[in-house]
Amino acid sequence: MKKTVTTLADGRELIYYDSRDDLVREAVDPRPLDAVSTSSEIRRDPLLGDSVAIASHRQGRTYHPPADECPLCPSREGRQSEIPEPDYDVAVFENRFPSLAGDSGRCEVVCFTSDHDASFADLTEEQAGLVLEAWTDRTAALAELPQVKQVFCFENRGAEIGVTLGHPHGQIYGYPFVTPRTELMLRSMAAHHAKTGRNLFDDVVAHEEEDGSRIVLAAEHWIAFVPYAAHWPYEVHLHPRRRVADLRELDEEARTEFPQVYLELLRRFDRIFGPGEPPTPYISAWHQAPFGIPGREDFGLHLELFTIRRTSGKLKFLAGSESGMSVFINDVPPETAAQRLREVASQ
């Protein structure tokens, strides 16, 4: 992998990740951009104890532009985008409309490919491996920022999820606090260890493997299953068999196998609802250990992949119980979801 760091016209950082070492990235962003001005602010809820990002400047962000005006496609004569080069493998840049900025954290955009009409599932194993390297490198870089306490790499796919740009891309958030979801995991992890003396993540994986009814895919270095208490209609958790705290700690064997496993999971997701159905909307989310916390080494890196589509043409809405009380009601039994995801395996 070759990494090239440059800046856009308004001073934001842009990083190219290339599979070829001989590529030279020298294109300059000629756009007359003003420096990015954000109103991002973190406010703490005194009742729930969690943090909310207030970011009114995001109201003006780009919203469903036509394909020939996509800001994530390579630049071409007569149309400059966020990527000055005429082509690229993987590109990462600071978000022009960040939810978190400055002392409030950092937001980056990860462009998985220059092909506007592709999806992550269309990537080759080499391309998917390069994205993994980019995620890992950015995790390492953001870990060095004093204001960042946790790094979150994720992808939103599909208009139903709320995606405003159709180009295949994801995001990376550097939070200035430990997220509420992670706080709950850490609490459960500590309680489990106090009760049993064992690691919660290890026990969850071992239980799923022993039960077997919710296993979706079992490889040499990774295992994927629908969790026992899945929140979403189709939800898969992907764990490395050797527990690590974050992406930086994955060994070479796990890195090599990851593209095969992850691409297979994404392709199965697109086959859940049968032929002729539109691509399955999903969220793919890496859960990594926060920085500087006691027992960080006991956290288990894992990826959660889920869709809000519960059946053909119907979505799972977060209504009263879910939105008002954070109590999920799942219409699809986890064992049924796992069986379906096994049925649609690649032949």
| Residue of 94, 101, 179, 182 lying closest to 138 (CA atoms) | 94
**For residue 60, pLDDT beyond 80:** no
CATH code for the part of the protein at 180-343: 3.30.428.10
Average pLDDT over residues 11-18: 97
> How is 52-119 classified by DSSP, letter by letter?
EEE-GGGGGS--S--GGG-TTSBPBTTB--SB-SS--SEEEEE-SS-SS-GGG-EEEEEE--S-TT--
| Residue of 318, 307, 251, 243 lying closest to 279 (CA atoms) | 307
Which tokens is 225 given?
Answer: 């299953």
Is there a contact between 112 and 120 (Cβ–Cβ < 8 Å)?
yes
**For residue 324, pLDDT beyond 70:** yes
Give pTM, 2 decimals: 0.95
Sketch the domain layout of the chain as residue ranges: 2-175, 180-343
The DSSP secondary-structure symbol of 345 reads -
* CATH for 2-175 (3.30.428.10, 3.60.20.10, 3.40.50.12370, 2.40.30.10): 3.30.428.10
C-alpha neighbours within 13 Å on the C-beta side of residue 332: 28
Q: What angle do CA 54, 177, 131 make, to 5 degrees?
A: 90
Q: Which residues are catalytic?
A: 169
**For residue 56, pLDDT beyond 80:** no
Average pLDDT over residues 104-127: 97
CA atoms of 80 and 88, how far apart (whole Å): 14
**What was the pLDDT predicted at 61?**
65
**What was the pLDDT predicted at 36?**
77
CA atoms of 311 and 271, how far apart (whole Å): 12
Each residue of 195-208: pLDDT tens digit?
999 999 999 999 99
Share of the chain above pLDDT 90, in %: 90
Each residue of 153-173: pLDDT tens digit?
999 999 999 998 999 999 999
Coil, helix or strand at residue 34? coil
CA atoms of 126 and 120, how far apart (whole Å): 12
**For residue 226, pLDDT beyond 90:** yes
